[in-house]
Amino acid sequence: MEWNRKHVFDLEDFSKDEIETVLEVAKGYRESMKSAPAKTFDYLKGYTLMNMFFESSTRTRVSFELAGKRLGMHVVNFASSASSLNKSESVDDTIQTLDAMSLDAVVVRHSTIGTPQVVAANTQAAVINAGDGTHAHPTQALLDLLTMAEMGIDFPRAHVAITGDILHSRVARSDVYGLTKLGAKVTLVGPPTLLPEEFERLGVDICYDFDKIIPEVDVLYMLRIQKERMERAFFPTIGEYAKLYGLNEKRMAKAKPSVLVMHPGPVNRGVELQGAVMDGDRSFILEQVSCGLAVRMALLQLCVGGWVTR
């Protein structure tokens, strides 16, 4: 195993080997967390990580901060709302200014597609995309793959249904690249207004009938309705959407007993996921969060440290 990548923009340009390397390294961190949950390492001692979140985040921002600290890094959280961006300084100038203070890693989330590439052009640091608009969320996809692998999913034999607001979901796009590269069959499910046919070109199936697909799949991956990205109505009412595409106990009764229920969070309880299913024994949403920390430690080790084995 070797590693030659400095930036993480999307899984679209990752090879299967690279994905497997991240998962292998992350599994090592998962193992050590089992015996010592808050164990710290000094592998990246003296290096600096800057978190730049221009969009809201709970899980991703906190886990990158913890990942950096557990590896011994100095972590700086850049607060865009309190910065000179408010005095009309451009993102490029802001990055160049911050870069002059010697950064080693920049984690960026922005509503504009392609912002991580703009940041990379203005810094010496390794840049990791923590979500760019509706485009990509590679670290979410990697943590989803790690969760599935840990729960016994054998990708070449697995069938994963990703259901909901596909149109606005950067998670769905990155998950499709990751899953298909590892050989899994993927079906995208949702109302036609939120599931354009052009997604078929990504090598997935498309299905508008959630009830039909439920008994066939090994993973029910549910997506949040992204109201903040909707400029018009995509379905008559939230109640109508939940009736057709929400995962509830009645639908769970038709699923394989071994099915995994997953969601990237935050969840609209009672819309895409009924509370009882979210809190039920087939839900792996909190495992996803734990795997997120291990995956982000692995990516910092690989992209900043540049080495695979310790």
User: For residues 170 and 191, what is the distance between their CA atoms, to the nearest angstrom?
Assistant: 17
Cβ distance to ligand ASP smaller for residue 30 or 170: 170
* Angle between the N-to-C axes of helices 59-70 and 285-300, in degrees from 0 to 180, rounded to the nearest 10: 50
Alpha helices in 186-248 (DSSP H): 210-213, 238-245
- 122-142 core/surface letters (b: 16 or more CB in 10 A; e: else): bbebbbbbbbbbbbbbbbbbb
Instruction: Report in angstroms how near the CB of residue 234 gets to ligand ASP at its nearest.
Output: 15
Scan residues 178-207 and list those touching ligand ASP (CB under 6 A).
Answer: none
Q: How far is the CB of 171 from ligand ASP (least distance, A)?
A: 5
**31 vs 228, which CB is nearer to ligand ASP?**
228
Give the residue with the Cβ less far from ligand ASP, 21 or 163: 163
What token pair was written down for 271? 């819309």
Does 168 participate in binding ligand ASP (rule CB under 6 A)? Answer: no
Q: Which of 23, 73, 171, 295 binds ligand ASP (CB under 6 A)?
A: 171
In the shown chain, the binding pattern of residues 205 to 234 toward ligand ASP, with x for contact by CB under 6 A and - for none, equals -------------------x-x--------
DSSP 284: -
Give the total of residues touching ligand ASP (CB under 6 A): 8
Binding mask 120-159 for ligand ASP (x = CB under 6 A): -----------x-----x----------------------
- Note the Cα 157 to chain centre separation in Å: 22
**Residue 72 beta carbon to ligand ASP: minimum distance, rounded to whole angstroms:** 27
Tokens of 3: 């590693």
Kindly write out the interface string for residues 249-268 of this chain, putting x where it contacts ligand ASP by CB under 6 A and - elsewhere.
---------------xx---
Query: Could you tell me if 224 and 267 are in contact, meaning their C-beta atoms sit under 8 angstroms apart?
Result: yes
270 Rama class: left (phi>0) / alpha (psi -120 to 50) / beta:
left
Residues near ligand ASP (CB under 6 A) are 131, 137, 170-171, 224, 226, 264-265
